[in-house]
Chain A
Amino acid sequence: MKASRLLKVALLCSLTVTFGFAVNGSFSSAESATAAKETKVAAVTTKKSDKAETKLDPNDPSSVIYLDTSGKPAGLGDSSKPPSMAYKAGQGWHPQALSATGLPKDRYGLIDWAKIVRENIVKPKPSLDAAEEEMPPLKMDVLIPAKGDFVNDVIYPHEMHTYWLKCEVCHPGIFVPAKGSNPMSMVEIAQGKWCGRCHGKVAFPLTDCNRCHTSPKQKAGK
């Protein structure tokens, strides 16, 4: 009985020793190899740095946005060749990456694109067409009176809208560009007309009443 136990212990000890040696050995050999390679790698990275930067930092949780859905670096392929499988996988829906970007959210948990602009978090290109010039946002607020006596009036900011959109997106198709000539109503907006063409679909939802209805009416009381 005792002998068998002793044998077991001895076996275990020998196993751990040999395993440890193997790991150590491989490490030490790798170290020497990397030391030798380091100079070469440095030369390569300086060459590549102006081409495309990999921002994979294991200590930065937001770096997962550079991984595709299968966990491999995405978007680093050769642009002169047809898209690889890895590239296509990188196009997939990536909720983990979305949450890791740390983009500000509104009270509904939706991404607050206006706050992103105000805090200079993203810097989008004006157009996919490199020749096209950036149009500066139009700084013009429009007071849209609410029809009822009790609801706050709306202050419509052209600035935030023209940051993302061109004039032609809204004018003259959705809104006639003249003050007071658009018979808007919440009923129609809720039906998907006017502001409801975007708000509630790609822009923040209509449930967020006070994000637009900001200017108090005198009559509203209290």
Chain B
Amino acid sequence: MLKRLIIASAIVIAIPAASWAGIGDIRLESKIASMKKAGVGPVVFPHDRHEKSIKCAECHPKIFKDKRGANDISMKFNMEGKFCGSPNCHNSPRTFPLYQCASCHTGVGAAK
């Protein structure tokens, strides 16, 4: 009985831990055709770097649904104060502003 309980609790703890550990970088390129026109490459979002300074609940699930592909992120929405451009994020003195393209987009200036 006790053994089972220990195993069960171990699984309960291990599952979320395992799912969090593997997030790392997220490549955002669903709008790559538009990005190419604008002369920028895909965004590589460093999830672990954000984890260090922000609590999960600050972004999830209010700003970003915690499921890949479920967030229709675009520069238009960012500029309107949604997603990355939320008032406490890249639209505030807390961190770098939205117009610093190369801070998020890869390959900036390469396609011309």
Q: Give chain A's interface residues, CB within 8 Å of chain B.
A: 146-152, 185-187, 189-190, 206-207, 209-210, 213, 220
Asked whether B74 lies within 8 Å of A147 as measured between CB atoms, the reply is no
Does A187 contact B33, Cβ atoms closer than 8 Å?
A: no
Q: Does B43 touch A at the CB level, under 8 Å?
A: no
The number of chain B residues with a CB under 8 A from chain A is 22
Q: Is the CB of B109 within 8 A of A187?
A: yes
Name the CB-closest residue of B to A146. B38
Find chain A residues with CB under 8 A from B98 CB: 207, 209
User: Is B35 at the interface (CB under 8 A from chain A)?
Assistant: yes
Which B-chain residue is minimally distant from A189 (CB atoms)? Answer: B99
7 nearest A-B pairs in the assembled complex, by CB-CB distance: A148-B38, A150-B74, A149-B34, A209-B79, A206-B99, A147-B38, A148-B34
Whole-angstrom distance between the alpha carbons of A215 and B67 in the complex? 32
Tell me if B40 and A187 are in contact (CB < 8 A): yes
- Which residue in chain B gives the minimum CB-CB distance to A147? B38
Contact of B38 among A185, A207, A209, A220 (CB under 8 A): A185
How far apart are the CA atoms of A207 and B95 in the complex, in Å?
A: 12
Contacts known (A186-B101, A207-B99, A209-B99); A151 close to B35, Cβ less than 8 A? no
Report the bound CA distance from A110 to B56 in whole Å: 34
Expressed in whole angstroms, the Cα–Cα distance for A206 and B108 within the complex equals 18
4 further contact pairs, Cβ within 8 A, besides A148-B35, A187-B109? A146-B38, A151-B38, A210-B79, A220-B76
| Binary interface encoding of chain B residues 28-70 relative to chain A, with 1 for a CB under 8 A from any of its CBs, else 0 | 0001011101111000000000000000000000000000000
Distance from A109 Cβ to chain B, minimum over Cβ atoms (Å): 11
- Of the residues A147, A210, A213, contact of B37 by C-beta under 8 Å: A147
Q: Which residues of A contact B74 (CB under 8 A)?
A: 150-151, 220
- Interchain nearest-CB distance for A30 vs B (Å): 55
Task: Give the shortest distance, in Å, between B88 (CB) and chain A (any CB).
Answer: 14
Chain B 9-43, CB-CB to A under 8 Å as 1, else 0, gives 00000000000000000000001011101111000
B76 touches A150 (CB 8 A): yes
A207:B97 contact, CB within 8 angstroms: yes
CB contact under 8 A between A187 and B97, given known A149-B31, A213-B79:
no
Contact of B80 (CB < 8 Å), options: A185, A189, A210: A210
Q: Are A187 and B39 in contact (CB under 8 A)?
A: yes
Report the Cα distance A190→B91, complex, angstroms: 15
User: Across the interface, which residues of B come within 8 angstroms of A189, CB to CB?
Assistant: 99
**Do the beta carbons of B99 and A190 come within 8 Å of each other?**
yes
